[in-house]
């Protein structure tokens, strides 16, 4: 299994565990063998996490789902973006970037060395730089802004 697959798996696990295992302050911890019925009030929105950021050594992994947001490249770190249906603006200078997932629109200030794209229907635009481009997916576009 490649480092990319391990990092992606860790990021997805971190995203899935966001908010797990904590008891809210002021809530009671039920004793074993008792059951408390669920609340009958309706929630106006689900509490599903939709983003996560994990730093692993010299790599930053960010996962977004259905987001429009801005994030930054950390100097000297590789950036790994994973997710779907996002509109992202990445500021700063990015040396090596990997984008995986589908239907992401990502705008970079600068792609310096290398960009690798997997997945389907991703659109990447960068303002400056001359990176080596690795496009391993389908219907992806990677282009310098005009």
pLDDT, mean of residues 65-77:
89
Nearest of 84, 96, 92 to residue 122 by alpha carbon: 84
Give the global pTM: 0.67
The pLDDT tens digits for 2-57 are 555 444 555 554 444 444 444 444 545 544 555 455 545 444 444 456 778 888 89
- Most confident of the following: 4-8, 59-63, 76-80, 100-104: 100-104
Question: What confidence category does residue 74 fall into, taking pLDDT thresholds of 50, 70 and 90?
Answer: confident
As a whole number of angstroms, the distance between CA 52 and CA 15 comes to 5
pLDDT attached to residue 139: 97
139 vs 81, 98, 128, 145, CA distance in Å?
A: 18, 16, 23, 18
Task: Kindly report which listed range (17-21, 81-85, 122-126) carries the lowest average pLDDT score.
Answer: 17-21
Neighbouring residues of 61: CB distance < 8 A, sequence distance ≥ 6 = 7, 8, 10, 11, 53, 54, 55, 80, 82
- The total of other beta-carbon atoms located within 10 Å of residue 141's CB is 12
pLDDT attached to residue 82: 96
């Amino acid at each position: 299994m490649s480092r990319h697959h391990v990092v992606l798996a860790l990021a997805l696990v971190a995203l899935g565990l966001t908010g797990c295992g904590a008891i809210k302050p002021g809530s009671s911890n039920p004793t074993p063998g008792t059951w408390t019925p669920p609340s009958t009030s309706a929630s106006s929105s689900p509490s599903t996490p939709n983003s996560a950021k994990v730093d692993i050594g010299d790599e930053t992994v960010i996962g977004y789902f259905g987001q429009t947001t801005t994030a930054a490249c950390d100097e000297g770190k590789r950036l790994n973006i994973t997710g779907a249906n996002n509109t992202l603006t990445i500021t700063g200078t990015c040396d090596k970037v990997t984008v995986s997932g589908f239907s992401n629109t990502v705008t970079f200030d600068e792609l310096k060395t290398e960009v690798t794209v997997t997945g389907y229907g991703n659109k990447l635009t960068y303002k400056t730089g001359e990176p080596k481009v690795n496009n391993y997916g389908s219907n992806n576009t990677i282009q310098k802004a005009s």
